[in-house]
Amino acid sequence: MDEAARASVSTGVAPGDTFRAQVAELARMKEALKAGPGPQATQRQHDKGKQTAHERIAALLDDDSFVEIEGFRRHQVTGFGLEHNRPHGDGVIVGWGTIEGRQVFLYATDFRVFGGSLGEAHAEKIHKVMDLALATGAPLIALNDGAGARIQEGVGGLAGYGGIFQRAVRASGVIPQISVILGPCAGGAVYAPALTDFVFMVRGTAQMFLTGPDVVHAVTGEQITHEDLGGAGVHATSSGVAAFVSDDERSCLRDVRYLVSLLPSNNHEAPPSASTAGVPEADGERLLDIVPANPRMPYDMVRVIEELVDHGDFLEMHETWASNIICGLARIGGEVAGIIANQPAVLAGVLDIAAAQKAARFVQTCDAFNIPLITLVDVPGFLPGSRQEHDGIIRHGAKLLHAYCAATVPRVQVILRKAYGGAYIVMDSRSIGADLSFAWPINEVAVMGAEGAANIIHRKAIAAAPDPDAERQRRIKEYRSELMHPYYAAERGLVDDVIDPRSTRRVLIRSLSALRRKRTPNVDRKHANPPF
């Protein structure tokens, strides 16, 4: 008789029954972990219009795909009453699952436990999942709803943030990193999402700030609410921290799923392709009505983009920040592309500091993840003025120039109407490395507009003429016909072809297809030194 049989005879309990009891206890404990600290805490979360961490994970991932790890982890701190309050999980849920069948890693802070604050065990769980994401080459998603460092644990929490920051930088440009702000995010905690590639926020419940309203009031005397200091509206419109803003958590998490569907898993892969069944290669008749021939008349460039991309689906980033330039992702002919475009409906599409920063970051992100770039140009120049100059338009404009020059992905430029001065060069001109450049037959590429050029070149002649206004108009017409006609740049090899606007989509599809195997040799250096 073996040992198990002898034990069952002596106790009267079959070995399998003991095992089953233990398995049943494990299932009970896991259900308790999922339930969290209790129904009252869950109800308080729901009363704020927020889901629990597990509910958020379920909404984000494919059904039944989440695998949790370190669910039984607890802090080991004594003192300040923590020795009597050691919940499993320590306020953060970590693991992996799938989005549309593709693996992602994630962590989700649980506001019901210690307010989602970060202690040593909490941080080590996040470190673990970040290391796994980088080691396996899979996107990392952070669902943030926490109150910053856990004060009772002292410097241990701060060191935990340091580990997160260091790992985020190590993973930068290797795997996509996405932060979703679903509640408060304060103090040093804000730098974790700031280091990631994309930040989502939810109106009314998400806030980000280094110092809260109480500290602001104590130091400066200013009275301000949490929402006005660091709400989603502020970071979507003023600071540019938030790339995407949603009205509620469910729509936010749907947008995260859509973004992931457009990104590669890591920097060694191409973005996922999609079927083009039922999508016409070209149908651009409406473009002739959307874009006015008069270069001074505004129009909405988003409508142009929607005519060019598959199904009209365009995921715009930073829609309300620096909206004189447009940045976003779409599929063209089934393949993902990053689109940068001037927006003539806002400030005539001029480039300024914020626009340069926004576009430079986007170009750099696309290049890191093998996403081809399409640049739609209709730009009158850089925004003039002492404020722009004193605030560093030279340095910030150079960020965009550096980003384009350093980009190794396929790059296609289309000049719709005008491209004047240094802004023409910066908007991915052939001279800074665009692979292909096309122009519509109404394009004007020049140092500046004809009016300004004529006034400078022929200032004396205009002033001395019997009829200065007539002379000015004659000189403007002369400059436009000799130096700004639609084929001037093409004649000099700065534009590859002048195309029928209605064929733009077809030209883009075929150009990206031709450039798909583009390879650029690496430069032997540690790293570039961009004008940060």
Report the chain (532 residues): mean pLDDT per 10 consecutive residues: 54 69 82 77 89 95 95 68 66 95 96 80 93 98 86 75 94 98 88 96 93 89 92 95 96 98 97 85 87 94 96 96 98 97 97 97 98 97 94 95 96 95 94 96 80 76 82 78 79 93 96 94 85 84
Q: Are residues 291 and 303 in the same domain?
A: yes
Q: Are residues 360 and 499 in the same domain?
A: yes
Q: Are residues 156 and 83 in the same domain?
A: yes
Q: Report d(CA 327, CA 342) in Å as an integer.
A: 9
Residue 165's pLDDT is what? 94
Q: Are residues 128 and 235 in the same domain?
A: yes
Q: Are residues 301 and 229 in the same domain?
A: no
Residue in this structure with the two tokens 């970051």, named with its chain if needed: 361
Instruction: Output the domain CATH number for residue 389.
Output: 3.90.226.10
pTM: 0.91
DSSP string of 59-127, one letter each residue: HHSPTT--EEESTT------STTGGG---TTTTEEEEEEEETTEEEEEEEE-TTTGGG-B-HHHHHHHH
Q: Report d(CA 324, CA 421) in Å as an integer.
A: 17
Q: Is residue 269 domain-resident?
A: no
Residue 462's pLDDT is what? 80
Cβ atoms of residues 107 and 126 within 8 Å: yes
Q: Report d(CA 164, CA 170) in Å as an integer.
A: 10
Q: Is residue 183 domain-resident?
A: yes
Q: Are residues 169 and 194 in the same domain?
A: yes
Q: Is residue 19 domain-resident?
A: no
Q: Report d(CA 60, CA 52) in Å as an integer.
A: 12
Per this entry, what is the length of the chain?
532
Q: Report d(CA 110, CA 56) in Å as an integer.
A: 10
Q: Are residues 133 and 154 in the same domain?
A: yes
Q: Is residue 353 domain-resident?
A: yes
Range of the domain at 328: 287-447+485-514
Q: Is residue 276 domain-resident?
A: no
Residue 316's pLDDT is what? 98
Q: Report d(CA 360, CA 326) in Å as an integer.
A: 12
Q: Which contacts qualify for 313-320: CB closer than 8 Å, 24 or more apart?
A: 314/339, 315/255, 315/258, 315/259, 315/262, 317/198, 317/243, 317/244, 317/362, 318/236, 318/240, 318/242, 318/243, 318/358, 319/236, 320/236, 320/237, 320/245
Name the β-bridge partners of 436: 412
Q: Report d(CA 54, CA 181) in Å as an integer.
A: 15
Residue in this structure with the two tokens 């947008």, named with its chain if needed: 255
Task: Return the beta strands (E) in 296-401 as ranges.
Answer: 314-317, 325-332, 335-342, 373-379
DSSP string of 326-349, one letter each residue: EEEEEEETTEEEEEEEE-TTTGGG
Q: Is residue 154 domain-resident?
A: yes
Q: Is residue 7 domain-resident?
A: no
Q: Are residues 417 and 468 in the same domain?
A: no
Q: Are residues 98 and 241 in the same domain?
A: yes
Q: Is residue 528 domain-resident?
A: no
Residue 69's pLDDT is what? 94
Cβ atoms of residues 143 and 109 within 8 Å: yes
Q: Are residues 104 and 236 in the same domain?
A: yes
Q: What is the DSSP letter of 188?
A: G
Q: How many domains does the chain have?
A: 3
Cβ atoms of residues 507 and 482 within 8 Å: no
Residue 506's pLDDT is what? 95
Q: How do 140-144 and 92-99 pair as beta strands?
A: unpaired
Measured N-to-C along each axis, helices 301-308 and 504-514 cross at an angle, to the nearest 10 degrees, of 60
Collapse the DSSP code of 414 into the 3-class scheme (helix H, G, I; strand E, B; otherwise coil) and give the result. strand
Residue 39's pLDDT is what? 83
Q: Are residues 345 and 391 in the same domain?
A: yes
Q: Report d(CA 408, CA 414) in Å as an integer.
A: 18
- Residue 29 CA: distances (Å) to CA of 56, 87, 152, 168, 292: 21, 12, 27, 33, 66
User: Which residues are marked as active site?
Assistant: 187-188, 422-423
Q: Are residues 362 and 491 in the same domain?
A: yes
